[in-house]
A and B are shown apart, each in its own frame.
Chain A
Amino acid sequence: DIVLTQSPALAVSLGQTATISCKTDQNVDYYGNSYIHWYQQKPGQQPKLLIYLASNLASGIPARFSGRGSGTDFTLTIDPVETDDTATYYCQQSRNLWTFGGGTKLELK
């Protein structure tokens, strides 16, 4: 199984930049694509797709969200952070079956 590692929590001030990392224990690139996707989950709600294939913004997602990375190191950036962004963020790989990272809880300072 491919293991994805995320930091458990991050605190950022309103209007600042949040950078959430996701590291995989195996390369998730294949034929020019990185099979890493990002989801946002607010308390009591289902997850919502934010970014697919490492850097592509999902439909309806604000441009404040962006993703980058390749190989085994990936980041989700929120710039600037708004109040509504307090949530838990998960990375997921689909290179070999499916696994999720443990999630990063974003809080406001």
Chain B
Amino acid sequence: EVQLVESGGGLVQPGRSMKLSCAASGFTFSSFPMAWVRQAPTKGLEWVASISFDGRNTYYRDSVKGRFTISRDNAKSSLYLQMDSLRSEDTSTYYCAKDDGYNNYFDWWGQGVMVTVSS
């Protein structure tokens, strides 16, 4: 069974950095694109970033370009999100999601990790 387990969240001050990780199992991680999707408290879903199966291509929403970096380690079946220059509006639950690899929908999701940006 596919499992995606996020870690690395918590409380961080504005302007500081945080790195999220997602450990994947139950599928051939190196064959599928992956994504991060976030959800602010009581708000809807918001796509953050995606990465191709081999890590060569990355995509970001405008509001995080230049501040967030998505990466992956296929040898470790792990996905990462490096978040720099964090702002209060980045406060959200961050979900790791598996992309189906062809039509670009998200067929599996992790349970999410909370990131709170506050002084």
Give A residues with C-beta under 8 Å from B. 1, 33, 35, 37, 39, 41, 45-49, 52-53, 58, 88, 90, 92, 94, 97-103
Instruction: Name B's A-contacting residues (CB within 8 A).
Output: 35, 37, 44-47, 50, 59, 61-62, 95, 100, 103-112
Q: How far is the CA of A44 from the CA of B5 in the complex (A)?
A: 16
Asked whether, in the complex, the Cβ of B105 is within 8 Å of the Cβ of A90, the reply is: no
A1 to chain B, nearest CB (A): 8
Interfacial chain A residues near B106, Cβ < 8 Å: 37, 39, 47, 49, 92
Residues B109 and A48 in contact, CB atoms below 8 Å apart: yes
6 A–B contacts from the bound complex (CB under 8 Å)? A33-B103, A41-B45, A46-B111, A49-B107, A52-B100, A97-B59
CB <8 Å contact, B109 and A47: yes
B61 to chain A, nearest CB (A): 8
How distant is B39 from chain A, measured CB to nearest CB, in Å?
8
Among B59, B105, B112, point to the contact of A49 (Cβ < 8 A): B105
Do B104 and A94 touch across chains, with their CB atoms under 8 A apart?
yes
